[in-house]
Structure 1
Amino acid sequence: MPADPSATTRPDIRRVGVLLPWANQAVEEELPQLGEPGVVFHYARLVPATRTTAVDDSFWHGLRAAATDAVDSMRHLPLNATVLACTSAGFTGGPALPPGVITAFDALTILLHRHRRTRVVLATPYPQQVTRAEATALGERGIRVLAHASLGLDDGYPGISPQRILDLCAGLPPAALAEADALVLSCTGWRTLTAAAALQERLRIPVISSNRALATPTLPTAPGAAP
């Protein structure tokens, strides 16, 4: 007989279920470094039916379709929140997610609004059209994108070096950076810890990555989760 999850719940620990795109390497590296004491991350990998890794409709929709089984695989864990650790899957449509699951895009917008950072500059590794779609989606959530830059890649995000991120952000308009409340490094798949620290020191504005947003311990509690 399965163990009763409530019997193992500790009030000093907050547990977050992470639905992880199957080729993502960065999330498991960065979340433990970004999470606060008492936050534990539990992972389930999502495999799209097409078994692709390049970002396109079949990839995003495949991740969302795979989320139901992934959530079921963690149903005996006393989770406080469940997140889909893909930013672009949060603004590109597709199958409905299981109740209570939020995406990395949702987590970004929640964190930005919580800290009243509603004027941002945006940097992504995505193709140009995907970055433009994210800028539009952020605007629909009440977050004004003053400028954006992208690497134009549809795959290979784990191989992006910190210097390449710094070079990308160096091309953002100085006027937009001067007006911005934050720089957003969108995408959970590229490693941003080193670049984010350097950018924050250089620009003197907060730098918020998708993985930093996922690591916040105050994400909304999923319905039916442990209190």
Structure 2
Amino acid sequence: MSFEKRIGLLVPSSNTSVEAEFHRLLPAGVTQHVARLFIARVEPDSIERMVETLEAQSRLLASADVDLIMLCATAPSFLKGQGYDREIGKRIEDATGKPATTTSTALLDALRALGIQRLALGSAFTPTVNGICAGFLEANGHRVVAQDGLNKLDNLEIGRLDVETAFDLGTRIDRDDAQAIVLACTNWRTIDVIDRLEQRLNKPVLTTTQVSAWHALRKLGYGGSIAGYGTLLRDHLAPQAA
């Protein structure tokens, strides 16, 4: 029997990578439908302003009768610390009556599913935004043993980064005591290096686009396996209810 679902994505307006990467992670029968929230530079003030139109854009997505709405954006879902991801999800649900979640919620769910306590964090972000991300993860019970970023502010510039920057940074931040590598930013092309990094480092690699697709499919009840993008999608894609 075919598995047919619609996922509504709220993405940063200047994000040029996530739609293509997210689509590649979906099984046949699952489609994505996108609305945009304005942002040009990835810095705290503009990240906060990005969600000012959250409810209006969520209602537009809901009109396509999507089965789930996700804020598929990393920094806007962790900006204000522990619980902010769930606050954002509730705002979407209250506005639409649809189930909702966020990329940061997805990341936490993935870390729990893999039993990860200690991680190394890489991102495309500035030290300021990367530090906010690390603080969010630590407030939720995870230890960030190493962190580094590519120090990018312009979101269009992030979208133009070569995918090898993700491989290089993932390799550089690895530590013996890190149980997993986390690569954060849905506009940073990452999915094509996940398997190669896992083979080189012998540990799970989680990227924010990958965990977003995994979490959405899991919440919708998909129980298959998706190969080519890391152990998370290959070996841990059981429906959330199970």
Specify the TM-score bucket, using the shorter chain as the normaliser: 0.7 to 0.9
Partner of 2:152: helix, strand, or coil? coil
Partner of 1:98: helix, strand, or coil? helix
Matched with 1:4 is none
- How far apart in 2 are the matches of 1:119 and 1:36? 31
Listed one character per residue, the Cα deviations across residues 112-146 of structure 1 (whole Å, up to 9, x for unaligned) are: 11222232111101001211111111011122211
Higher helix fraction (1 or 2): 2
Listed one character per residue, the Cα deviations across residues 54-100 of structure 1 (whole Å, up to 9, x for unaligned) are: 11233212221111111111223333321111101111139953235
Matched with 2:238 is none
Matched with 2:231 is none
Partner of 1:120: helix, strand, or coil? strand
The answer (yes or no) to whether the contact 1:149–1:169 under 8 Å persists in 2 is no
Structure 2 gaps, min length 5: 94-98, 222-242
Aligned mate of 1:53, from 23, 29, 40: 40
Partner of 1:197: helix, strand, or coil? helix
The answer (yes or no) to whether the contact 1:30–1:211 under 8 Å persists in 2 is yes
Cα distance, 1:211 vs structure 2: 0.5
- How far apart in 2 are the matches of 1:82 and 1:59? 22
Q: Which amino acid aligns with 1:106?
A: T
Give % identity. Answer: 25
The answer (yes or no) to whether the contact 2:120–2:144 under 8 Å persists in 1 is yes
Q: Structure 1 residue runs of 4+, over 6 Å off?
A: none
- How far apart in 2 are the matches of 1:13 and 1:145? 37
Matched with 1:180 is 178
Matched with 1:23 is 14
- How far apart in 1 are the matches of 2:109 and 2:14? 26
Choose between structure 1 and 2 for higher RCO, CA contacts under 8 A separated by at least 6 residues.
Answer: 1
Matched with 1:141 is 140
Partner of 1:19: helix, strand, or coil? strand
Cα distance, 1:11 vs structure 2: 8.1
- How far apart in 1 are the matches of 2:28 and 2:140? 30
Matched with 2:96 is none
Q: TM-score when scaled to structure 1?
A: 0.81
Matched with 1:163 is 164
Matched with 1:215 is 213
Structure index of larger Rg: 1
Partner of 2:181: helix, strand, or coil? strand
What RMSD in Å do the two structures reach over aligned CA positions? 2.3
Gap change, CA 1:25 and 1:153, over 3 Å in 2: same
Matched with 1:125 is 124
- How far apart in 2 are the matches of 1:144 and 1:32? 31
The answer (yes or no) to whether the contact 1:15–1:40 under 8 Å persists in 2 is yes
Partner of 1:218: helix, strand, or coil? helix
Cα distance, 1:189 vs structure 2: 0.6
Structure 1 gaps, min length 5: 1-9, 222-227
The answer (yes or no) to whether the contact 2:159–2:187 under 8 Å persists in 1 is yes
- How far apart in 2 are the matches of 1:90 and 1:165? 21
Partner of 2:218: helix, strand, or coil? coil
Matched with 1:76 is 63
- How far apart in 2 are the matches of 1:172 and 1:58? 28
